Amino acid sequence: MEKFVLKITTALAVLAVAVPMRAQVYYTDSDVRDRTVSIAPFIQANTVFRRAAAEVVGEQPEVTDVFRGGFGGAYGLSVNAHVKPFRLGFDAAQSNFSYRQGVDRDNLLRTKSHYLMLRGRIGFATQMNDETTLEVWVPLAYRMLQSVERDGASGNVSESMTSAGIEIGSSIKLSEHWGWFGLVGLDNAFGEFEATPTTAYREYPLWVTLSTGVRYAL
């Protein structure tokens, strides 16, 4: 019996030496990937409001007409890069917005403007759990006029607009590469609606936006 046990023990020892064990691999912080690039097709819904300002800073303007914001939208493609601790993004999109304006409610003329929008973004993200991330973005957009539809209103709409705002929302990881995001935003223009204003006060667009799309991480 002792000889049998000795033979089994010897055989196991020889097998352990003959079959190399897989070495355990350790990673340092420099080996861990901390940059992620993603592409994201998206759509956006918006409604526009008017921010009226007097010619003289600090004075309250006397608004003499009626303004009603309409619904608009955008669709495009964004490229995002995660460079800790920031997130950077660039968007290219076709966008439009509409509004009605007139001397009273019975005489409102509709304007719908189509713009090519180029937008850069810087953002921050907080990981809520393994799947959900809270995101905050600060975008700076530049719009170039493509076409306009008007109901006989006088004047010309602005050929270009620059705006800045904020977007807040979340993203959900669906798989290793795919994710979904939704954002609510406020976008404030630095230029007026009209290239040749027809009122005694300045009129600046203020958009409320809702964006959604999917991201594919490369």
Confidence of residue 35 (pLDDT cuts 50, 70, 90): low
What's the pLDDT at 125? 93
Judged against a pLDDT cut of 60, whether residue 172 lies above it is answered with yes
**Mean pLDDT calculated for residue range 162-183:** 96
Domain ranges of the chain: 34-217
* Fold of the 34-217 domain: Porin (2.40.160)
Judged against a pLDDT cut of 80, whether residue 26 lies above it is answered with no
Annotate 93-130 with b (16+ C-beta within 10 A) or e (fewer): bebbbbbbbbeeeeebebbbbbbebebebebebeeeee
Most confident of 13-22, 53-62, 173-182, 194-203: 173-182
What's the pLDDT at 10? 55
- Which token pair is 49? 């409001």
Closest CA to 73 of 34, 38, 115, 41: 115
H or E element at residue 193: none
Q: How far apart are CA 72 and CA 99, in angstroms?
A: 9
Q: Which residue has the higher pLDDT, 105 or 168?
A: 168
Chain mean pLDDT for the chain: 85
pLDDT digits (tens, 9 = 90+) for 130-164: 899 999 999 999 999 999 999 876 678 999 999 99
**Mean pLDDT calculated for residue range 73-92:** 94
Total residues found in the chain within this entry: 218
Q: Both ends of the chain: CA-CA distance in Å?
A: 62
Q: Which residue has the higher pLDDT, 10 or 114?
A: 114
